[in-house]
């Protein structure tokens, strides 16, 4: 990435509050690249990737309109570690390339100082070294379970199946620059966001010596 420009990751397990943190950033006119959205776009628009996914999971991986059959895909990959690993190998590399392309565009054309990337799988994908700073959001497991069930309309079993592929939050904390706990009210979380955000602004807007 260009000198004196900062790529910052927002990460955390399922149901911790990454999207809310990203929403606050967007409200402060910051650019947030969402890795999930990029992955989904790649999976539905790149013919070679589509072909590889169909070969791995079958034609049922796609709905008649060409959109992802997310329920089917989840039922396949979250109960089969081998399939999960193979799908990750297909989707992650082009997703990372696209994230870097979009970040460079923001740095060069829009002359931004910093770009944020929301990604649940920073450590799992082994891309932590691509970021200048990593913000980890942590929450108690029972809160994460409750939020995810309400939001995604999944069962507790499906929640636990999904988080088995995510790095242990305590391990992730050891490799993160900032940690926010999201166990209280939205107001508390917003205050913590503001504290971290002001800190990040100070760090990224210092004049180079």
Question: DSSP string of 133-162?
Answer: EEEEEE--HHHHHHHHHHHH---HHHHHHH
The Cα 137–Cα 94 span in angstroms is: 25
Phi-psi bin for 4: left (phi > 0), alpha (psi -120 to 50), beta? Answer: left
| CB 114, CB 2: distance < 8 Å | no
Q: Beta-carbon neighbour count of residue 184 at 10 Å?
A: 12
Give residue 206's pLDDT band: very low, low, confident or very high (50, 70, 90).
confident
Convert the pLDDT of each residue in 70-125 to its tens digit. Answer: 999 999 999 899 999 999 999 999 999 999 999 999 998 777 899 999 998 899 88
For each of the domains in the chain, give its residue range(s) and CATH number, in order of start: 6-204 (3.40.50.300)
Convert the pLDDT of each residue in 162-174 to its tens digit. Answer: 898 889 999 999 9
Angle at 32 between CA 153 and CA 154, to 5 degrees: 10
Give residue 1's pLDDT band: very low, low, confident or very high (50, 70, 90).
low
Which pLDDT score is estimated for 125? 87
CA atoms within 13 A of residue 77's CA, in its CB half-sphere: 21
Give residue 2's pLDDT band: very low, low, confident or very high (50, 70, 90).
low
The Cα 158–Cα 165 span in angstroms is: 12
Which pLDDT score is estimated for 124? 86
| CB 135, CB 181: distance < 8 Å | no
The Cα 123–Cα 198 span in angstroms is: 25
Q: In the block, which residue shows the tokens 């994460």?
A: 144
Closest CA to 107 of 8, 17, 180, 208: 8
The answer on pLDDT for 209 being more than 70 is no
Convert the pLDDT of each residue in 27-59 to its tens digit. Answer: 999 999 999 999 999 999 999 999 999 999 999
Give residue 207's pLDDT band: very low, low, confident or very high (50, 70, 90).
low
Give residue 147's pLDDT band: very low, low, confident or very high (50, 70, 90).
very high
| CB 44, CB 67: distance < 8 Å | yes
| CB 124, CB 85: distance < 8 Å | no
């Amino acid at each position: 990435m260009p000198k004196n420009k900062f790529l910052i990751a927002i990460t955390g397990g399922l149901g911790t509050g990454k999207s809310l943190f990203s929403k606050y950033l967007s409200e402060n006119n910051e650019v947030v690249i969402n890795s999930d959205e990029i992955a989904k776009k790649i999976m539905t628009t790149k013919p070679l990737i589509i072909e590889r996914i169909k070969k791995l999971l079958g034609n049922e991986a796609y709905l008649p309109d060409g959109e992802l059959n997310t329920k089917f895909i989840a039922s396949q990959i979250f109960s089969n570690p081998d399939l999960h690993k193979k799908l990750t190998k297909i989707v992650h590399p082009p997703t990372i390339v696209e994230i870097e392309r979009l970040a460079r565009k923001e740095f060069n054309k829009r002359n931004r100082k910093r770009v944020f990337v929301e990604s649940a799988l920073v450590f799992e994908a082994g891309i932590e070294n691509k970021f200048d700073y990593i913000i980890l959001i942590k929450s108690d497991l029972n809160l994460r379970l409750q939020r995810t069930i309400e939001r995604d309309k999944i069962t507790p079993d499906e929640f636990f199946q999904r988080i088995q592929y995510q790095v242990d939050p305590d391990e992730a904390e050891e490799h993160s620059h900032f940690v926010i706990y999201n166990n209280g009210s939205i107001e508390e979380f917003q205050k913590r966001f503001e504290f971290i955000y002001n800190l990040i602004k100070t760090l990224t807007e210092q004049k180079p010596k």
